[in-house]
Amino acid sequence: MLISALVMGWVGVLIHLIIMSTFKKMIKHNEFAFLHLLMVFMYAMWLPLPITLYQLLDSHLLQVGIIFGFTYLFMIVVTMALQVGHITFVTKSNEEENISNEIASYVMGTLSNPFETIANVFKSIWALFLGLAFWNAGEYLMSILMLVFSLLFVYYLFIVLDTSVLRRIKLFSKVKANTLFINLETLLFFSVIMFYVTFHI
């Protein structure tokens, strides 16, 4: 399983790099559905990683952490797949414009935010457990890196609260979701994990 997870993990990183390098071109050609389809496969490639890290570190701390890691990845795969279906239907089956832009935007908003942001909150919790497990294993550099990623819990939580609370709170509204930052953070997070997995199998 470890070798399979290694190969799949790097395939996921490769897909992420492909998305970043072709993003503008796909947007220009209105390939939003294909973009989200690539992200489905990208996150699916990372699904074995929580179990893989649990096996490598053999830490009781990850018995809980693995739940948050897998839940995060599963939620992202599901929401991206649903977004593929929604975008495909709207663009290919709405020639007579029976579905208004308002309804299409409403459905897309329901499928993306705060669903994706909640998933990232779970990822931050997973990173916290990883940081503690790495520290317990004497992997101090990895521990520090994971603990830094776990600090993004506050960032994602503020975005979720700002989206969910009816009465706007100034403290929450100051934090804005930045797609570029989130994508770069995701790439860096999984690249760090994959380098660790690569050199410890």
| Per-residue tens of pLDDT for the chain, all 201 residues | 789 999 999 999 999 999 999 999 999 998 989 999 999 999 999 999 999 999 999 999 899 999 999 999 999 999 999 989 888 877 776 665 666 566 666 566 667 778 899 999 999 999 999 999 999 999 999 999 999 999 999 999 999 998 888 777 777 778 888 999 999 999 999 999 999 999 998
d(CA 147, CA 124): 9
Q: What does the block give as tokens for 41? A: 């496969």
Contact call for residues 73 and 43 (beta carbons, < 8 A): yes
What is this structure's pTM? 0.92
In the chain, where does DSSP find H-type helix? Answer: 2-28, 32-45, 49-57, 62-92, 101-112, 115-136, 140-150, 152-164, 170-173, 179-200
d(CA 44, CA 29): 25
Cα distances (angstroms) measured from residue 128 to each of 60, 123, 144, 153: 14, 9, 10, 9
